[in-house]
Amino acid sequence: MVQSLLTITRFPRAPFAMVPLSKREERIYGADVRIDSISPIYIQFKRSLAYPDYSSAQFIKDRKALKANCSPRTLYFELRAKKPKHKDFQHNILFDLKNKLDKAGKGKAFYTAPLFLNRIAYLQAVHMFSLFSWRPWPWYRHDPFFEQTQNILTQTGCIQFQNIPILREHIVISPHVKVNTHKHRYSYLESGKEICFHEPTKLDDEQNLGQTIYDVLKFRDGQPTTEMTSLKESLTLLVDLSENIFSQEELNSNEQIIDKWLNFGEKLWKEHDIYQYMLIKLKNG
């Protein structure tokens, strides 16, 4: 559902699209010559679990020691264990991708997890939000929503991802430190607030998926505010990102640049369950 919302969009004011990019996802717009520039986004999707505030679980004790709220329950997800064939933990790979993209000033890498435990809970949350936002008085019936911007498309064609309910109901957490074991957790409230990492540390970077995507894709003068890189120049970025993931033979292959990106996305997905998305600008004509 989330992937559909991220990939169905085309931007009316400019030839941009955001697509999953791997051999498994044959959603690319043709040969290299069609692509003007790109910006990669790496997402690790996680499922939220929960413990009530009275639980004796260690991470609940950690949160209370940090004076973080645990009521009425705390959501969390665990890091992924390393398989014998892997050189490093999945978390560290995502952490390295984030740091390299931050250093280059291009792209994003982060975890995202739903702030509801199942689809029924999400649907109930949307329903209750609509009920509480509705003004029943007759003189307001032409405007049933209370002081909320419900439109997801502006007059300029810019999409307000932060107003799409299911994207707003996903927390975004950037990997902030390297680990030497997978026995860590990120925990947070159902509001997406008070994030803790369990070694333990309390974090401050609270954001939802809709806002994160909007910040990446928001437009200024018909161009996204995120920095793009030309397809030819992106090979340098790919070499940097793929260090310790790609072999030298894979990097030195005679394939087109976009095929190398496709292979990299396929490897990240198959081996580490990290999804490679790409903001793509197509050449005019």
Q: Please give the tally of structural domains in the chain.
A: 1
- Per the structure, the complete domain to which residue 79 belongs is given by 2-282
Q: Is the dihedral of CA 125, 126, 129, 131 positive or negative?
A: negative
pLDDT at 240: 93
Cβ-in-10-Å burial (0-12, 13-18, 19+) of 200 comes to middle
The pLDDT tens digits of the residues spanning 73-116 come to 999 999 999 988 888 999 999 999 999 999 998 899 999 999 98
Give the pLDDT of the chain (285 residues) as one tens digit per residue: 777 777 655 555 556 778 888 866 655 544 445 788 899 999 999 999 999 999 999 999 999 999 999 999 999 999 999 988 888 999 999 999 999 999 998 899 999 999 988 777 767 766 665 565 555 544 444 443 344 444 555 555 566 777 777 788 899 999 999 999 999 999 999 999 999 999 999 998 889 998 898 888 776 555 666 788 998 899 999 999 998 887 777 777 778 888 889 999 999 999 999 999 988 887 775
Alpha helices, H only, 134-208: 165-168
Global pTM value: 0.84
pLDDT at 120: 75
Cβ-in-10-Å burial (0-12, 13-18, 19+) of 248 comes to exposed
The three-state secondary structure class of 79 is coil
pLDDT at 26: 54
Read off φ and ψ for residue 133, nearest 5 degrees: -85, -15
Pairwise CA distance, residues 129 & 150, whole Å: 12
